[in-house]
């Protein structure tokens, strides 16, 4: 049986269409994927992301040891900052992509994907030594909501005790929101200005309700979350990332720099000695027809890769996607063909992000 | 919302017959289940289909569906407005969101489809 988040009753009351995702029951949409997507780009939406894992690490050894397990340099990460990175296996295959948040000198929070959370937990505990305590906050009933969109700071500002102008992109802070203690990070998965709010489930419901009481904010489901992240060229674990792929070919080598020692670093140094055989690219199609995961990508009639994600882009009004292709076919501007099984869909390799209007880095709050 | 003057299939297509031509679309129930429609693969003009053949395919933001011929015939026209604005199927499925017109090979085939009352009963059963 898939698990329900603390906001389940609210999703039902809001008319959410519920689906199973990563072992959880979550809304794929409320009013509609396209309107929720556009609302995020033009105003603000809130997503229930309580399915994602939250692991809290405390102790004098926490930063040093975490920096040897994941690709983020936890010791160099300043208090109040977040960093994207990976858990890799010894072969540099991606076990998960994560965000590491430094809450204090001896306190770090790792946010991980839902479907991989249990495996991550075993992997991390298997590599931790003395001097670190780990709390699985998901098991303790914590949840998370993501408020995303250019109006996010205006909607959240009056509800929190921190000055949002002082919380820059990838900043994190403890906060009080609607009288509830929470962790607040200026991160997200949409390319827009936004915040992730982590709190115990029952407290999260109050915050969710208060945000939705603002007419600038609407609820959004997994459907819009997927098309928003794809317009930004952000990877989704299980699609663009898996143990079959390493960060170099995923075009994310900057988030796994093997000058330091961490699990998989030795293999990354070997891989960095030559060009990758394939590379993750984003593409836009010449029509609205969708490319689907595992569709073959062809160049001059020969298979050179496969699609990992595809969606209709509400911002660009064409079909977009991502996929791994041979290096010789990976340059921006290269014309390729996706074989959808029903039709040959012409696509063009494009620079990431596919949508350039995102407000995530704005300083104008 | 089930118009009285149409005939319905159990795959949630509708057909309106006027002078040997059948106009085909999908029902309000079908468009609501699919959600925002993002692409319609229109059938080629002049192509012939038997009753129950796949006419074309529709993609929505999170799903895809096949559309089947409610009766046999040849494609006499397609709704080209759907190429740039497939959302017409969501906003006006029985009007501006029509998909294609078939020159029917045997208009009597439509007689075996459901009328509005039968389709409403069918929808009520499907919900249980």
Instruction: Give every CB contact of residue B88 below 8 A, 6+ residues apart in sequence.
Output: B79, B81, B82, B96, B97
Instruction: List chain A residues with CB under 8 Å of B41.
Output: 289, 342-343
What is the pLDDT confidence band of residue B62, given thresholds at 50, 70 and 90? confident
Contacts B35 to A, Cβ<8 Å = 17, 29, 32-33, 223
Q: What homologous superfamily is domain A277-351 in, according to CATH?
A: Aminomethyltransferase beta-barrel domains (2.40.30.110)
Tell me whether strands A3-4 and A24-29 are parallel, antiparallel or unpaired: parallel
- Express each pLDDT in A211-232 by its tens digit: 999 999 999 999 999 999 999 9
Smallest CA–CA distance, residue A17 to chain B, in Å, is: 10
Q: For helices A33-42 and A222-232, what crossing angle results, to 10°?
A: 50
Stated as kind and residue range, the H or E segment containing A269 is: helix A265-271
Q: What is the CATH number of domain A3-52+139-231?
A: 3.30.1360.120
Instruction: Decide: helix, strand or coil at residue A252.
Output: coil
The verdict on a CB contact (< 8 Å) between A32 and B35 is: yes
Contact between chains at B36 and A289 (C-beta distance less than 8 A): no
Tokens 């989704």, residue located: A236
- Cα(A269)–Cα(A317) distance, rounded to whole angstroms? 41
CATH number of B7-123: 2.40.50.100
What are the residue boundaries of the structural domains of chain A, listed by start? 3-52+139-231, 54-136, 277-351
- Total residues found in chain A within this entry: 365
> From start to end of chain B, where are the E strands?
7-8, 13-18, 21-26, 37-41, 48-49, 54-60, 64-68, 73-78, 100-104
Confidence of residue A139 (pLDDT cuts 50, 70, 90): confident
Could B39 and A290 be called an inter-chain contact, meaning their C-beta atoms sit closer than 8 Å? yes
Give the ipTM.
0.92
Q: What is the DSSP string of A120-131?
A: HHHHHHHH--TT
Strand partners, A299: A302
Strand ordering across the sheet containing B54-60: B37-41, B54-60, B64-68
Mutation target for A interface from B58, B62, B63, B80: give the one with most A CBs within 10 A. Answer: B62
pTM of the model: 0.96
Fold entry, domain A54-136: Alpha-Beta Plaits (3.30.70)
CA geometry: angle at A224 spanning A207 and A48, to 5°?
25
pLDDT at B128 over 80: no
Residue A83 pLDDT greater than 80, yes or no: yes
Residue A320, helix vs strand vs coil:
strand
Domain ranges of chain B: 7-123
Determine which helix (DSSP H) or strand (DSSP E) holds A86, and give its type and residue range: strand A82-88
pLDDT exceeds cutoff 90 at B1? no
CA-CA-CA-CA torsion sign (A30, A36, A40, A42) = negative
Instruction: Quickly tell me which residue has 């005939």 as its tokens.
Output: B7
């Amino acid at each position: 049986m898939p698990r329900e988040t603390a906001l389940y009753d609210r999703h039902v009351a809001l008319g959410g269409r519920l689906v199973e995702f990563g072992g959880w029951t979550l809304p794929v949409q409320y009013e509609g994927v396209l309107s929720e997507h556009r609302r995020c780009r033009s105003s603000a939406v809130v997503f229930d992301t309580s399915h994602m894992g939250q692991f809290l690490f405390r102790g004098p050894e926490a930063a040093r040891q975490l920096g040897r397990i994941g690709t983020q340099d936890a010791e160099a990460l300043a208090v109040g900052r977040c960093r994207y990175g990976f858990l890799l296996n010894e072969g540099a295959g991606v076990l998960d992509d994560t965000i590491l948040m430094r809450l204090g000198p001896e306190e770090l929070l790792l946010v991980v994907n839902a479907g991989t959370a249990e495996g991550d937990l075993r992997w991390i505990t298997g590599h931790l030594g003395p001097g670190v305590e780990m709390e699985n906050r998901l098991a303790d009933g914590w949840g998370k909501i993501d408020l995303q969109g250019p109006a996010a700071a205006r909607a959240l500002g009056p509800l929190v005790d921190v000055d949002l102008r002082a919380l820059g992109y990838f900043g994190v802070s403890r906060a009080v929101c609607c009288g509830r203690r929470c962790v607040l990070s200026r991160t997200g998965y949409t390319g827009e200005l936004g915040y992730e709010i982590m709190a115990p489930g029952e407290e999260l419901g109050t915050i969710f309700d208060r945000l939705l009481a603002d007419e600038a904010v609407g609820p959004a489901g997994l459907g819009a979350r997927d098309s928003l992240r794809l317009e930004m060229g952000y990877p989704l674990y299980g699609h663009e990332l898996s143990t079959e792929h390493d960060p170099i070919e995923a075009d994310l080598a900057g988030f796994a720099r093997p000058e330091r020692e961490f699990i998989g670093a030795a293999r990354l140094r070997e891989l960095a000695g030559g060009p990758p055989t394939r590379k993750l690219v984003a593409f836009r199609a010449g029509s609205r027809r969708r490319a689907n995961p595992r569709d073959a990508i062809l160049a001059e009639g020969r298979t050179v890769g496969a699609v990992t994600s595809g969606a209709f882009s509400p911002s660009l009004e064409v079909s977009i996607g991502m996929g791994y292709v041979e290096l010789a076919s990976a340059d921006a501007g290269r014309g390729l063909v996706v074989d959808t099984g029903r039709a040959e869909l012409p696509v063009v390799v494009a620079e990431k992000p596919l949508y350039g209007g995102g407000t995530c880095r704005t300083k104008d709050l | 919302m089930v118009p009285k003057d149409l005939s319905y299939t159990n795959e949630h297509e509708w057909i309106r017959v006027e002078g040997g031509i059948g106009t085909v679309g999908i029902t309000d129930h079908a468009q609501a289940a699919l959600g925002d429609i993002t692409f319609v693969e229109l059938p080629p003009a002049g192509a012939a289909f038997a009753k129950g053949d796949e006419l074309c395919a529709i993609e929505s933001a999170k799903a895809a569906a096949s559309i089947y011929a409610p009766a046999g015939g040849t494609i006499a026209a397609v709704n080209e407005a759907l190429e740039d604005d497939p959302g017409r199927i969501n906003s006006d499925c029985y009007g501006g969101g029509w998909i294609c017109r078939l020159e029917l090979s045997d208009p009597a085939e439509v007689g075996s489809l459901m009328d509005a009352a039968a389709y409403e009963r069918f929808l009520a059963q499907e919900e249980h």
